[in-house]
Amino acid sequence: MRKYRLIYVALWLAAVAVYSIPWVRGDGEIFTGWEFTLPFSLPYVVGLLFGLVVLLTRRFAFGLSLAAGILMILGVVGAVFGYYFAELVATLAGGNVAMEPGMCIAFLYSLVYTVAAPVIGRKIKG
């Protein structure tokens, strides 16, 4: 059971790390997922909190882990909308906005988390 808890910790920490890498570059300034939190990627942060609740309490491990993964996916989708909104504003203002690899990595990792975390969470519930 301890082994699965460590695996879950690694999954959760990787989700935090992916949220912290560059998602968008705007006129030379780099933005991570944390800069997109309000209002676009807020579900990702809620998903991280759900994962933290599972780590701290081991309660509702399967359901909260699944919900966390789904919220992370929705958070990245919201950030994509935020990116396109920023691109529209930058185009109108004569600026430049480009997507960084972090947003794509976050989306792919969210899919992995959605599948792996509930399975591992069920094993740490013990």
List all residues 6 or more positions away from 73 whose beta carbon is below 8 Å from its beta carbon: 107, 110, 111, 114
pLDDT for 27-39, tens place per residue? 889 999 998 777 8
Query: CA-CA distance, 104 to 81, in Å (whole number)?
Result: 13
What per-residue confidence (pLDDT) applies to 125? 65
pLDDT for 86-109, tens place per residue? 899 999 998 899 999 999 999 999
List all residues 6 or more positions away from 18 whose beta carbon is below 8 Å from its beta carbon: 33, 102, 105, 106, 109
> For residue 57, how far is the Cα from the chain centroid?
21
Q: Collapsing DSSP states into helix, strand and coil, what is residue 41?
A: helix
pLDDT for 48-69, tens place per residue? 999 999 999 888 999 999 999 9
pLDDT band at 126, cuts 50/70/90?
A: low
List all residues 6 or more positions away from 122 whose beta carbon is below 8 Å from its beta carbon: 61, 62
Question: Both tokens of residue 76?
Answer: 């990245």
> pTM for the complete prediction?
0.92
Query: CA-CA distance, 87 to 6, in Å (whole number)?
Result: 40
Using an 8 Å Cβ cutoff, are 106 and 77 in contact? no
Query: CA-CA distance, 6 to 22, in Å (whole number)?
Result: 26
